[in-house]
Amino acid sequence: MDNILNNPPLIFFLFSVIALGLILLSYKLPTSPKPEQILKKKFCINHTQTRSTSSCHICSNPFCPDCLREFSTLSFCFEHFRLLEKYRWIPLLSFEITSEQNENGLILQNFKEMIWRKENIPSYIVVEYCINFEQDLIESHLSYFTREQDQDFLTKKFKAFKNRS
């Protein structure tokens, strides 16, 4: 031990190694996003190192541009874009909402999410905006689209859902 303490170059070397180790321990290496970050739509679910830019209008999962297909102004993942092409889609419900009267929009969004989560029935919502200068407000027109084959079932489900909300 005395030989080590009497050897300044060795002491300097040991302190340097310890200091470098402490610096490396404090340095945060890049890590994969946590599952909750992916679920919060920050990262693409297919490319977990890539930030998402949009969500699929059917499943609501986050995707990067490489994983999305565009239809009109809407984004769809590849799987659901194929569904869009395969079936005939119809507007089942429509609502006019304003910033003061938006409860129908919230009900519609919650219904869409519930139908997807519990019944695995695809649907999407199209939002069109209109600026009303005379009344100084923004009006939104919401249209809920579903496959034609699901029309009767979803009409009944929505009535029951709205009555509970």
DSSP the chain: -HHHHT-HHHHHHHHHHHHHHHHHHHSPPP-PPPHHHHHTTSB-SSSTTSB--EE-TTT--EE-GGGEEEETTEEEEHHHHHHHHHS-EEEEEEEEEESSS-HHHHHHHHHHHHIIIII---EEEEEEEEEETTTTEEEEEEEEEEEGGGHHHHHHHHHHHHHH-
pLDDT band at 2 (very low <50, low <70, confident <90, very high): low
At residue 142, the pLDDT reads 94
This prediction has a pTM of 0.71
At residue 98, the pLDDT reads 77
Look at residue 67 and tell me whether its pLDDT is greater than 70. Answer: yes
Taking only the tens place, the pLDDT of each residue in 78-113 is 999 999 999 999 999 999 887 777 888 999 999 999
